[in-house]
Amino acid sequence: MTDVVSNSVPPTRNHGALDHFLYVLRSNPVTLLAFMMLAVLLVAALVGPAITPYDPLTSNAAIALQPPSLDHWFGTDNLGRDVFSRVIVATRLDLAISVAAVALSFVIGSLLGSIAGYWGGWLDSVLNRLFDTIMAFPLFVLAMGIVAALGNTVENIVYATAVINIPFYARLVRAEVNIRREAGFTQAAKLSGNSDIRVLALHIFPNALPPMMVQVSLNLGWAILNAAGLSFIGLGVRPPTAEWGIMVAEGANFIVSGEWWLALFPGLALMFAVFTFNLLGDGLRDIVDPRQRT
């Protein structure tokens, strides 16, 4: 039935990538909203420190634990620091950790998954058992262990988050590569004189991108939560650095005594970020899929 439609459509000029991006945004309001939310996050991350009303690290005991007001939109914490400024400034660190971790697991996972899916055989079995082993651990506990063992630094949070995410990418890529290993266009690429590596890298792998994009965006959300979670229990980022996880952890002590704003606003920021990435998935997939361009 799709034939009917495509045959009757009058030929028009081919749409460029930007046109396509705008079309995806126009046709799907949720994607538009997600991209707007992403823009807010990116602005906060890029120019955050320059636009905050107060220094996020300067303490002022005189105004400690004040509720939200016009001066301090999100209130102040126990050391008199402006919570709003801290939440904004923390965006850069949290995004950096999650993007770096996801990029790392994307690259390593794609590489291992492609190898396993394309060549198969014993290599496939070995790699799969390796992924199984990683996934057999409770992932957060594994990440805790890695950070504890390697040392309490931001880089190690990135590595730990990357390691626990690699199996997800590898599995996905393996399946996507595997179903295309015998596809007609793979055979055609070999006939055109492409070596195995070229076939894999230039012909098969790019076709796995649309589902990967969904995974990436969901994963960015998880990675932020993971990084915040590690900081929350005291691993990784250390005070007084502004970071959403630590801020929630520190603020949690004051909820009982009624100072709810300390934990609520960084928590909301976390929620906002995770929600943005979860919404982004479908839109990203549509954008990287050339079949959506009609």
Partner 1 sequence: MSLVSIKDLKVSFKTRRGNVQAVRGISLEVAKGEVLGIVGESGSGKSVTSYALMRLLDKGGSISGGDLSYGGIDLKAASENEMKDLRGREISMIFQNPRAALNPIRKVGHQIEDVLCRHAKATRSNVRSEAIKALEAVKINDAEQRYDAYPFELSGGMCQRVVIAIALACDPKLLIADEPTTGLDITTQKAVMDLITELISERDMSALVITHDLGLAAQYCDRIVVMKDGEVVEEGQSDQVFTAPKHQYTLKLVDATPRIGVSVRELLLPDQRTPFPELKKVDLPLLEVRDLTKTFQGKSGPVHAVKGVSFTVKKGQSVGLVGESGCGKSTTSSILARLLDPTSGEVLFNGEDLSKTPARKFSRDPRRASIQMVFQDATDSFNPRHTARQIIGEPLARLTQMARKQRRSRVEELAVLVGLPVKLLDRFPHQLSGGQKARVGIARAIAVEPEFLILDEPTAALDVSIQAVVLNLLVDLRARLGLSFLFVSHDLHVVRLLCDEVIVMKEGKIVEAGAAEQVMTSPTHAYTRTLLSAAPHPPILTVPTSSAAE
Which stretches of the chain bind partner 1, using CB under 8 A? Answer: 1, 3-12, 14, 23, 27, 183-185, 187-196, 198, 203, 206-207, 290-291, 293-294
Q: Which amino acid is at 166?
A: I
Sign of CA dihedral 267, 245, 58, 95: negative
Per the CB < 8 A criterion, the answer to whether 74 and 259 are in contact is no
Q: Are 247 and 259 in contact (CB under 8 A)?
A: no
Q: In this complex, which beta carbon is closest to partner 1, that of residue 6 or of residue 257?
A: 6
Rounded distance, CA 213 to CA 31, Å?
Answer: 14
Least spacing, CB of residue 69 vs partner 1, in Å: 50
Could you tell me the smallest distance in angstroms from the CB atom of residue 184 to partner 1? 4
**Of 8 and 257, which has the nearer Cβ to partner 1?**
8
Which one, 1 or 256, has the nearer CB to partner 1?
A: 1
Question: Closest distance between partner 1 and the C-beta of residue 172, in Å?
Answer: 18
- Smallest gap from Cβ 170 to partner 1, in A, equals 22
Q: Are 157 and 94 in contact (CB under 8 A)?
A: no
Q: What does each C-alpha distance from 77 to 83, 218, 256 come to in angstroms?
A: 6, 32, 14
**Closest to partner 1 by CB, 19 or 71:** 19
- CB of 1 or CB of 50, closer to partner 1: 1
What residues are paired with 76 via a beta bridge?
Answer: 82
Q: How far is the CB of 294 from partner 1 (least distance, A)?
A: 5
State in angstroms the smallest separation of the CB of 8 from partner 1: 5
How many of the other CB atoms lie within 10 Å of CB of 218? 17
The residue among 207 and 278 lying less far from partner 1, judged by its C-beta, is 207
From the list 225, 229, 241, the residue with the least C-alpha distance to 273 is 225
**Amino acid letter, residue 172:** L
Q: Where are the beta strands (DSSP E) in 81-126?
A: none
With respect to partner 1, which residue has the nearer C-beta, 192 or 253?
192
For the beta carbon of residue 142, count every other beta carbon within 10 angstroms: 16
Give me 213's structure tokens: 């994009």
**Which amino acid does the sequence have at 28?**
N
Amino acid letter for position 220: L
Q: How far is the CB of 166 from partner 1 (least distance, A)?
A: 25
